[in-house]
Structure 1
Amino acid sequence: MMPTPSVTVLKDTTANPAPLGLLGFGMTTVLLNLANAGYFGVNAMILAMGIFVGGLAQVLAGVQEWKKGNSFGATAFTAYGMFWLSLVCIFTLPATSWGGAFKADAASLGWYLLLWGVFTLFMFFGTLKLNRMLQVVFFTLTILFFLLAGSEFTENASLKAFAGYEGIVCGLSACYGSMALILNETYGRTVLPLGDKKVLPASQPEAEALPSLSA
């Protein structure tokens, strides 16, 4: 008799990194845009959040999404984590002895933000296959980048303040997504809805997508 081939099934038992990435992005975005709206100035608190929470925490989440085979999550968290680290460098490098000659002007900041807006717009198109929470986050983030780019190109303080309020909405939507993922997984049911897309597998009853960044 021919030997029966054995099949090894690998089960992913690692935690979902999306709540950490969304929280890191959301909290830092809210704080920076409170500054853009005029509630306080950019200070060490925002720089520290940008390095450790918006930056390193999101990069770590992106690496974990990569290990799970989620290209969208890996790209999003890693890219926006690096965005925060680069933004902190833009704020701080001109204050160093060797970086004073390289301070970014309004036009260069406008192009910087515009390119991030274009990238985010394409990422938003990707969320159309995912859940409503991510669609809100990426849509409001796209608008935020374009508003901030416009405020830099025109040097319009009122436009920047308006962008700040819009950015607060964006950040809070990401924080909501983080809390929803955590609570829904903890309680084993939908405590906070994510607007998951419903799929109809062949010959099976209606099922909801799993609660992850790719859901």
Structure 2
Amino acid sequence: MADLEKGTTTTTTSGVDHRPYADNGSAAYRNSPTTPVRTNIGNPGTLGLFSFASTTLILSLYNTSARGVNTPNVVVGMALFCGGLVQLLAGMWEFAKGNTFGATAFSSYGAFWLSYATILIPGSGISDAFTDVPSQEPNAIGIFLMTWMTVTFLLFIASLRKNIGFIALFFFLTFTFMCLGAGNFVVASAPNASAGLIKAGGALGIITALIAYYVGLSELLASERAAVVGLPIGVFKHD
């Protein structure tokens, strides 16, 4: 994260100190030069990253047919509450901390998991709408996934100013969505030919989840004063 978003910037280009004073008279840094938000708010990054990683790992294992599982519906509960609700809450707290990048990413993927879970819920009626023309459903899901590939690529561009951990995370996630989206397009015309792309997307998703776990653990250790070790994620220094 940039120094401004981490709350470590004390001056603006005009040289004005943007540190408001707490009630006890001690300096409390703002997360943004325009909002009086103090850094005593806990870092929601680990919560969001762990939730994203866990849900992504489960679905990715299903996509690789781990233990012979090909039907992903068990992920619905995780997608609703862990990947969806918890990430959305983490995103809201990132807004409170003045971290626009984290807020946008967590809130967006929280919405992704909530919407993806809705597609898989039989009672939603979404799948039933394609009963007359079954080939439309995988095409529709392919468009859905390719749209999220676009969102992820834009976040990847923004991550180039953050750290190596985020760059790797969004790089692999972009290709995960691409493979899964392409796999669904293939399903519409040749169902048996899609297995390779879906499994490739699953494998890339597993890598993405492991990177998210690593970055999340790095942030968790960084927030603990008594942490024995820290995990480097290649943070870029901004002047």
Alignment equivalent of 1:88, drawn from 92, 108, 117? 117
Matched, 1:78 2:107: yes
Question: Taking every aligned residue pair, what percent have the same amino acid on both sides?
Answer: 34
Alignment equivalent of 1:105, drawn from 129, 134, 137? 137
SS in 1 for 2:223: helix
**Which residue identity lines up with residue 233 of structure 2 in the other structure?**
L
In structure 1, stretches of 5+ residues that fail to align are 1-6, 202-215
SS in 2 for 1:129: coil
Q: d(CA) in 1 for partners of 2:85 and 2:199?
A: 27
Summarize the Cα distance change of 1:8–1:112 in structure 2 as closer, same or farther, 3 Å threshold.
closer
Q: d(CA) in 1 for partners of 2:163 and 2:157?
A: 12
**Which residue identity lines up with residue 46 of structure 1 in the other structure?**
V
Q: d(CA) in 2 for partners of 1:97 and 1:88?
A: 10
Q: d(CA) in 1 for partners of 2:129 and 2:155?
A: 31
Q: d(CA) in 2 for partners of 1:160 and 1:116?
A: 16
User: How big is the shift at 1:46?
Assistant: 1.2
**Which residue identity lines up with residue 173 of structure 1 in the other structure?**
I
**Which residue identity lines up with residue 232 of structure 2 in the other structure?**
P
Alignment equivalent of 1:193, drawn from 217, 224, 232? 232
Matched, 1:178 2:210: no
Q: d(CA) in 1 for partners of 2:216 and 2:113?
A: 18
Matched, 1:58 2:97: no
- Structure 1 range deviating more: 185-194 or 132-141: 185-194
Report the aligned-residue RMSD: 1.9
TM-score by length of 1: 0.83
**Does the 8 Å CA contact 1:29/1:167 hold for their aligned counterparts?**
yes
Summarize the Cα distance change of 1:100–1:184 in structure 2 as closer, same or farther, 3 Å threshold.
closer
The alignment of Structure 1 onto Structure 2 pairs a total of residues equal to 192
User: How big is the shift at 1:153?
Assistant: 0.7
Q: d(CA) in 2 for partners of 1:121 and 1:99?
A: 27
- Which residue does the alignment assign to 1:114? 146
**Does the 8 Å CA contact 1:27/1:172 hold for their aligned counterparts?**
no
Spell out, residue by residue over 1:14-52, the C-alpha distance to the aligned partner (whole angstroms, 9 max, x if none).
100100000110111011000000112345541111111
- Which residue does the alignment assign to 2:34? none
- Which residue does the alignment assign to 1:68? 97
Summarize the Cα distance change of 1:97–1:136 in structure 2 as closer, same or farther, 3 Å threshold.
closer
- Which residue does the alignment assign to 2:35? none
- Which residue does the alignment assign to 1:163? 201
Q: d(CA) in 1 for partners of 2:141 and 2:127?
A: 16
SS in 2 for 1:96: helix
Q: d(CA) in 2 for partners of 1:43 and 1:165?
A: 15
In structure 2, stretches of 5+ residues that fail to align are 1-18, 23-27, 29-37, 131-135, 188-193
